[in-house]
Structure 1
Amino acid sequence: MNTNAPGSVPPEIAAWFDARGWRVRRHQAAMLEADDRGQHALLVADTGAGKTLSGFLPTLAAFCSSRLDGVPAPEGLHTLYVSPLKALATDVQRNLLAPIEEIGLPIRVETRSGDTPSDRKARQRSRPPHVLLTTPESLSLLLSYPEAGKLFAGLQRVVIDEVHAFATGKRGDLLALALSRLQAINPALQRAALSATLADPDEYRAWLAPWGEIDSVELVHGEPGAEPEVDILLPREERIPWSGHAATWAIPQLIEQIRAHRTTLVFTNTRFLAEYIFQELWDANEGNLPIGIHHGSLSREARRKVEAAMADGKLRALVCTASLDLGIDWGDIDLVVQMGAPKGSSRLLQRIGRANHRLDTPSEAVLVPGNRFEFLEAFAAQQAVREGQRDGDPFRPGGLDVLAQHVMAVACAGPFREDDLRAEIRSALSYAWIEEDTFSRVLEFVATGGYALRSYDRFRRIVRDRDGTWRLTHPEHAARHRLNAGIIVDAEMLDVRFRNGRSLGKVEEGFGASLEPGDTFRFAGMDLEVEGLKDLELIVRAARRSATIPSYSGQRLPISTHLADRVRAMLSDRAGWSRFPDDVREWLEVQDWRSHLPAPGRLLVESFPHRGLEYTSYYTFEGWNANQSLGMLVTRRMEARGLGPLGFVATDYTLIVWGLKPVEDPAILLSPDILTHEFVDWVQQSYLLRRAFREVAVISGLVERQQPGKRKSGRQVTFSTDLIYDVLRKYEPDHLLIQAAWADARARMTDVGRVADVLDRAGKEIDHVRLERISPLSVPALSMIGRENLPSGAADDDLLLEAESLASVAMRVDPAMEEEEGE
């Protein structure tokens, strides 16, 4: 056998597999073959398929003596491994050292992140390891050093793990720019990306490839693994609740599941819910089973302690959030529980994959719906998993703030020519749209801060020489850049306070930023009116009227478009209702009898009187964020038309608005021009644009969070960005960062794309039904009105009581209808 033949597995590696009782899987060999042919590769394989080893197999092969054939092993940096999490890189290092040591390969492996000591970072630049495990941010910083050209000149491979976790966001933009820079340094560089959950692999092939070279990326599908076993937990004797998200009804059954399994991961969708479920489990834990909790708000020490306990098999259950979504291989997990709605099939599959972590053994998962809509969502997700359907976030144009940060990093490494750098950044899919004038504006911003700020010396970071070459104005700017560069801007919490200083608690800034003076909301059991937002304090007073937004609901994941479409299709498939529990089937049957059901491609709108007011329900299924934005816009339009809006409530599935007068024609309220008139006014008058501007100002380097030996507080950063924002809005409203902030506000903060989908359906066909009383489908959302629904779940009992009261009205069958049915 010719061990140097393209695609052949070196005998050293084959023997290592044999010694472990393993075999080289087809997709692992395919990754090696693609590398030998000089092709980039994208591997899509189930969890437990050995994806990480597949990505590193060409690297291991390159250091095998049978391939070297007497030639010395490669020196310098050979392979970069990029992951979205520092913890994942550390876990991979531990697992990668085993084959390296057991095969006896001369490979040095190190990690590099924000936690790496500065002396080791300096040594890595002068004497790099063969394999460096890092993150997009740390890679970008490495590229900012003058020795970057020499460091990466011999780089052969870049392996991107869990590519779905960041490719569609700003971290993906930064990585795409870094890949373009690396490819310019070494045109022979080969790229590989790995994932278990991609809805459209071709989109990721286009992202991974140099622009226009999608055919250079080979798509490798992993060997199919055992189908996961996904069940939905139902109450034994009670009905599925009408409302609520905590699913505390399931705690006794959940304790039984934990007792019956070796190790259980209990996923929740928010940190607050994780804390609540953890406490509920402890209260019911009569057997004193060791149960832990893990989420991003815990201290690093607390997380590491729990992680070590998991790795050592000392825990029977761990309540967690998305902090454990990705592929860290811990302990002997044999059950995954999803509390509440799964929100997306890909996210659910990623979480299910944490169980067993072996390709040939089915992962076991249990979905626990908190209410009836969540049951439908869980059922849709269960079907999607069985059919192998995936979903995910769409790609969008790269951010100008990220591009500005990259330009500064390039300048820190050394002088550059404008045309060369523009061509380089356009080789990334995320920035292929950049034209000459746009790039010139980015350069002008990095050079001077823009027209309105150019008189301030501290914004003058780069300058163009007479020969057209751009360079740093002073070496100190390089140090400041490396101290402040990064993409992740920590979300701030807003203090809710009365003017006299009395504090009521904290809310997420994303919620507070959507409010404007005069808006009312319910928090801490009180109706509050917003007076203003100042220095991360939401100043309020007691409201003189009922809250427009009935409760503060906290951050949440929106239902994916794919799952929403599935739920709508299930609602219109009456024959399929036989698969549902009796109470869910009865709920839908009475809804169908009394009103309509949402149909694919159409928008169902119901109007009905209730407790002396007029209510309108819009069944959008576009997620909480989009419905929240739509509620803000619709109430403004109702006000302008004299309909006397008094408030709205939003869920993932429904928007309910109420007021003094009935809505006779909802089409007028949902015309597309709402996104060009009311939307612009709302965003400009609220704090959304200010919040978006703060993030892009930090990412672009306009405002620095860190100074030598000192870090600015969030309050100080906000004060600085607010001052600059006011200057730019007044003197340069078309500034590059205002443009970038608008892009963020539209796409991320308001989910305006999904709002547009609602308007599109409304423009085609609205099913408007006028009812005499509330409908069964409106009960889950209606029960939230006037109820404090803090994300801890502590108010679920109040919600359930209200829901049962409303349901008794909605589900009541009139005698006349009973007689009609009897005939």
Structure 2
Amino acid sequence: MKNENPYQIAEDWFQHRNWKPFPFQKQTWKAVLEGKNGLLNAPTGSGKTFALWIGIVLNYLNKNPDAFTKPKKGLKAVWITPLRALSVEIQQATQQFCDEIGLDFTVGIRTGDTSTQDRAKQKKNMPDLLITTPESLHLLLASKGYDKTFKNLDAIVIDEWHELLGSKRGVQVELGLSRLKTICNTLQIWGISATIGNLQQAQEVLLGPDSEALQNSVLIKAHIQKKIKVESIIPEKMERFPWRGHLGLHLLEDIIPILKKSRTTLIFTNTRSQCELWFQAILSKHPEFAGEIAMHHGSINKETRLWVEGAIRNESLKAVVCTSSLDLGVDFAPVETIIQIGGPKGVARFLQRAGRSGHQPGKESVIYFLPTHAIELIEASALQKAVKETVVEDRIPYLLSFDVLIQYLTTLAVSDGFYPEHIFKEVQQTFCFQAISEAQWKWVLNFITKGSQTLENYDEFQKVDIEEDGKFKVNNRGVAMRHRLSIGTIVSDAMLQVKYVKGGYVGTIEEWFISKLKPGDVFTFAGRNLELFQVKEMKVLVKKSKQKSAKVPSWMGGRMSFSSQMSDLLREELYKANHPNRSKEIKALSSLFERQKRESIVPEPHQFLIETFKSREGYHAVFYPFEGRFVHEAMGSLMAYRMSLLQPITFSIAFNDYGFELLSDQEIDMQQVLDNDLFTTKYLTDDLEKSLNATEMARRKFRDIAVIAGLVFQGYPNKLLKSKHLQSSSQLLFNVFKDFEPDNLLYQQAYRETFEHTLEEGRLIQAMERIMKQNIVWKACEKPTPFSFPIITDRLREKLTSEKVEDRIRRMMAQLEKD
């Protein structure tokens, strides 16, 4: 193909495929050709890969008229994706366009899955487009002569920017971009994001506040109205005392007709353990689905995951039970139906999942919502409203993440070294470090060379040398190797490989779950019942088991909380319980609400409900902010602490997404509580620190910070340190800083992140300010109410084994129904 009008090349290619480009795609091509940077906001499955990749190719052809006949070798564009699983999709789409227009471009992938051979080939001869992850980009920056690799780079695209933004991986991207901007004078930076609440800020974080890149940028929105239909699966008989113990499995038969009539269905669960349970339950009740149903979650081995993804594409599978491992971008045109088990806890996550069906422009997405207990139907109603009004969450960017900065500076020192005065200017231009002071910068430099004032006598913390000309450089090969192995900001519990005794890899599982099992115990994993044989090095050796009952693994990431937008929507729907124009979900809960009104009240917008009652366990006080479990954990501890100042009293605390319970063996003087203004936001940080054992939470947070900053080495591949060793090493350092160096920036960061991200202090303040304006209604009840029942049963589950809990709850329900 000759190099004609660049737009014509794109138009002809679309026409050849019987497609028509969307206005947003043309707009993006134009912006890229004009040399602009930007953020493209487009829903999943709308053709955003072609919008940017075609723009980049057209721009290159414009600048290089002889590109078809005399292509130049070397890296021209980098595409960063948060998930390795997405890279194959992007590679196929981008390579296809180049091949079909006759352009001799190669598209390569470089992620944690790339073989050593392929990496060596790339080192000698880089592809024209490289698809990689934030971690692999930093590994390239840690290699000698990286500036030569990137010197002819024209463009960089950050895919799924909304996913990276609210995490330290986003900070990694910001720092990587700050370096590339200096090396490549004409670098164009583009981000792709699904809808988030703070799009303008997302663009500012990507391009850097007050930067030239931001001034020469555009925000392009794909105004594609995605039709989403939400269908709730409403039980015929509504429970009046809801609890989440059965994980929705009592409605299993309701989804079987949906599975049978759809060509392909994705069944989304919120946790890996729930995924395992649902997969087993469907197969045991309906063995006819054997061979037609599979499972997909992050701990299953890569080969199985790729096989499942391929099988969805070619429609050889009827259904896949999955987790958020299939949330993002993997392109499954044939998926017809989505089923969501339980509340997804966030609007954006729900919309993302809904978009997996009808995953083509113009197609309607259908998502079925299956509640795991009755009150989740309020969530279903709230989500329908969110879909109608396109309400989505903000993603909050991290600020002053010194652990990531320390890792990044060590990366630069490992490769070609750096001069602090040059790098300081670049770092200051990022959103994360726009407020970094000279004193903090000097502290960080001191830390990488000497290891801070309390560690300067230990050689292992003195990683970077200062050379005669003032260059900071790592000269020790051992330090360089350990650092390259540690690049990244995802710190999780140690993962163990699950293998059969006779050979064969099953997947990975968290150490903390396996540490609770003994040889001979049977657990469910990857759809099979496995008997633990032994744990050897970092491997869990197992045998197949025919035993019917088994423990289901739970993963640390299993407990999600409501987003603030979800909480607002939920309260609005709840307040409609007393109004005639209710949704069908709220109407279905009529018997539950009637029972709640008999025992207590269903609060109105101006009311805040507190219930108290006595049981054989003691005296209960239940509060209902409807703000999500993280806020309730903090608020419950705060209330307990403030009450204990009024009278000597001890509480146990339970909480879920709807409220929290304080249980004591002595009567709570609730009137005294109300008279003493306990919901005030005055002295909040102080009281929180005392009430929550914030030091213990900060100590846990510090473990991750210590690993990212390179204070604690996680170990070599296949010889990883056990998490308890990591924990004890980081705790030792935490205690040293606490006692001898309280102004240590990493120590202070642990507290800051605990309050800002774990406890969501900002949301807690807003919730308490709202409660202060409401009328507080205290109801002294005779017994547990329908609203309080899920919180009580959650607490029982923490104490008792599952068999005992189910029996106990059934007895409680029978007693309450009889009363």
Instruction: Give the alignment's TM-score, normalised by structure 1.
Output: 0.85
Paired with 2:155 and 2:514, the residues of 1 have a C-alpha distance of 53
Question: 1:235 and 1:401, CA in 2 relative to 1: closer, same or farther beyond 3 A?
Answer: same
**3-state SS in 1 of match to 2:559:** coil
Tell me whether 714-723 or 21-30 shows the greater mean CA deviation.
714-723
> How far has the Cα of 1:331 moved from its partner?
6.0
Match of 1:546 in 2: none
**3-state SS in 2 of match to 1:672:** coil
Question: 1:658 and 1:505, CA in 2 relative to 1: closer, same or farther beyond 3 A?
Answer: farther
Residues 171-320 of structure 1 mapped to structure 2, 5 A cutoff: 171-213=169-211, 214-239=214-239, 242-244=242-244, 246-288=247-289, 290-320=292-322
1:4-51 deviation digits (Å, cap 9, x = unpaired):
77xx51x33322211211012111111111111211121111222101
Residues 469-488 of structure 1 mapped to structure 2, 5 A cutoff: 469-488=471-490
Matched, 1:557 2:554: no
User: Do the aligned partners of 2:689 and 2:695 also contact (CA within 8 Å) in 1?
Assistant: no
Identity across the alignment (%): 28
1:585-643 deviation digits (Å, cap 9, x = unpaired):
34335545764444557643333444473322211222112222333343344344435
User: Do the aligned partners of 2:411 and 2:483 also contact (CA within 8 Å) in 1?
Assistant: yes
Question: 1:503 and 1:679, CA in 2 relative to 1: closer, same or farther beyond 3 A?
Answer: farther
User: Do the aligned partners of 1:261 and 1:334 also contact (CA within 8 Å) in 2?
Assistant: yes
Match of 1:651 in 2: 656
Tell me whether 66-75 or 151-160 shows the greater mean CA deviation.
66-75
- Backbone CA RMSD of aligned residues: 3.3
Q: Return the letter of the residue paired with 1:647.
A: S
Paired with 1:138 and 1:497, the residues of 2 have a C-alpha distance of 30
**3-state SS in 1 of match to 2:278:** helix
User: Do the aligned partners of 1:620 and 1:653 also contact (CA within 8 Å) in 2?
Assistant: yes
Residues 166-565 of structure 1 mapped to structure 2, 5 A cutoff: 166-213=164-211, 214-239=214-239, 242-244=242-244, 246-288=247-289, 290-330=292-332, 332-465=334-467, 468-491=470-493, 555-565=558-568
Matched, 1:730 2:731: no
Give the aligned length: 762
User: Do the aligned partners of 1:211 and 1:426 also contact (CA within 8 Å) in 2?
Assistant: no
Question: 1:777 and 1:425, CA in 2 relative to 1: closer, same or farther beyond 3 A?
Answer: farther
1:321-353 deviation digits (Å, cap 9, x = unpaired):
111110101362100110001211110111111
**3-state SS in 1 of match to 2:112:** coil
**3-state SS in 2 of match to 1:447:** helix
Question: 1:65 and 1:399, CA in 2 relative to 1: closer, same or farther beyond 3 A?
Answer: closer
Question: 1:476 and 1:157, CA in 2 relative to 1: closer, same or farther beyond 3 A?
Answer: same
User: Do the aligned partners of 1:112 and 1:138 also contact (CA within 8 Å) in 2?
Assistant: yes
Match of 1:569 in 2: 572
1:211-236 deviation digits (Å, cap 9, x = unpaired):
21444331111141441121111113
User: Do the aligned partners of 1:125 and 1:147 also contact (CA within 8 Å) in 2?
Assistant: no
- Aligned match of 2:36 in 22, 35, 39? 39
Match of 1:821 in 2: none
Tell me whether 740-749 or 704-713 shows the greater mean CA deviation.
704-713
**3-state SS in 1 of match to 2:432:** helix
> How far has the Cα of 1:260 moved from its partner?
0.7
Q: Return the letter of the residue paired with 2:565.
A: H
> How far has the Cα of 1:104 moved from its partner?
1.6
Matched, 1:164 2:167: no
- Aligned match of 1:615 in 610, 614, 620? 620
Match of 2:544 in 1: none
Q: Return the letter of the residue paired with 2:625.
A: T
Paired with 2:58 and 2:797, the residues of 1 have a C-alpha distance of 60
User: Do the aligned partners of 1:4 and 1:66 also contact (CA within 8 Å) in 2?
Assistant: no
Tell me whether 17-26 or 406-415 shows the greater mean CA deviation.
406-415
**3-state SS in 1 of match to 2:582:** helix
Match of 2:22 in 1: 25
Match of 2:750 in 1: 741
Gaps of 5+ in 1: 507-550, 813-823
Question: 1:795 and 1:262, CA in 2 relative to 1: closer, same or farther beyond 3 A?
Answer: farther
1:637-693 deviation digits (Å, cap 9, x = unpaired):
434443533422211011011221223224554443564334324555764222211
**3-state SS in 2 of match to 1:181:** helix
**3-state SS in 2 of match to 1:287:** helix
Match of 1:699 in 2: 708
> How far has the Cα of 1:555 moved from its partner?
3.0
Paired with 2:557 and 2:66, the residues of 1 have a C-alpha distance of 61
User: Do the aligned partners of 2:400 and 2:436 also contact (CA within 8 Å) in 1?
Assistant: no
User: Do the aligned partners of 2:259 and 2:318 also contact (CA within 8 Å) in 1?
Assistant: yes
Paired with 1:791 and 1:37, the residues of 2 have a C-alpha distance of 64
User: Do the aligned partners of 1:225 and 1:359 also contact (CA within 8 Å) in 2?
Assistant: no
User: Do the aligned partners of 1:416 and 1:471 also contact (CA within 8 Å) in 2?
Assistant: yes
Paired with 1:127 and 1:499, the residues of 2 have a C-alpha distance of 49
Tell me whether 260-269 or 149-158 shows the greater mean CA deviation.
149-158
Match of 1:718 in 2: 727
Paired with 1:498 and 1:192, the residues of 2 have a C-alpha distance of 45
Paired with 1:431 and 1:20, the residues of 2 have a C-alpha distance of 46
User: Do the aligned partners of 1:228 and 1:364 also contact (CA within 8 Å) in 2?
Assistant: yes
Match of 2:686 in 1: 677
Question: 1:641 and 1:256, CA in 2 relative to 1: closer, same or farther beyond 3 A?
Answer: same
User: Do the aligned partners of 2:600 and 2:781 also contact (CA within 8 Å) in 1?
Assistant: no
Question: 1:438 and 1:176, CA in 2 relative to 1: closer, same or farther beyond 3 A?
Answer: same
**3-state SS in 2 of match to 1:68:** coil
**3-state SS in 1 of match to 2:787:** helix
Paired with 2:767 and 2:379, the residues of 1 have a C-alpha distance of 19
**3-state SS in 2 of match to 1:770:** strand
Q: Return the letter of the residue paired with 2:331.
A: D
Paired with 1:471 and 1:41, the residues of 2 have a C-alpha distance of 35
> How far has the Cα of 1:730 moved from its partner?
2.3
Tell me whether 562-571 or 756-765 shows the greater mean CA deviation.
756-765
Q: Return the letter of the residue paired with 2:235.
A: P
Question: 1:51 and 1:751, CA in 2 relative to 1: closer, same or farther beyond 3 A?
Answer: same
User: Do the aligned partners of 2:493 and 2:723 also contact (CA within 8 Å) in 1?
Assistant: no
Instruction: Give the alignment's TM-score, normalised by structure 2.
Output: 0.86
Tell me whether 789-798 or 390-399 shows the greater mean CA deviation.
789-798
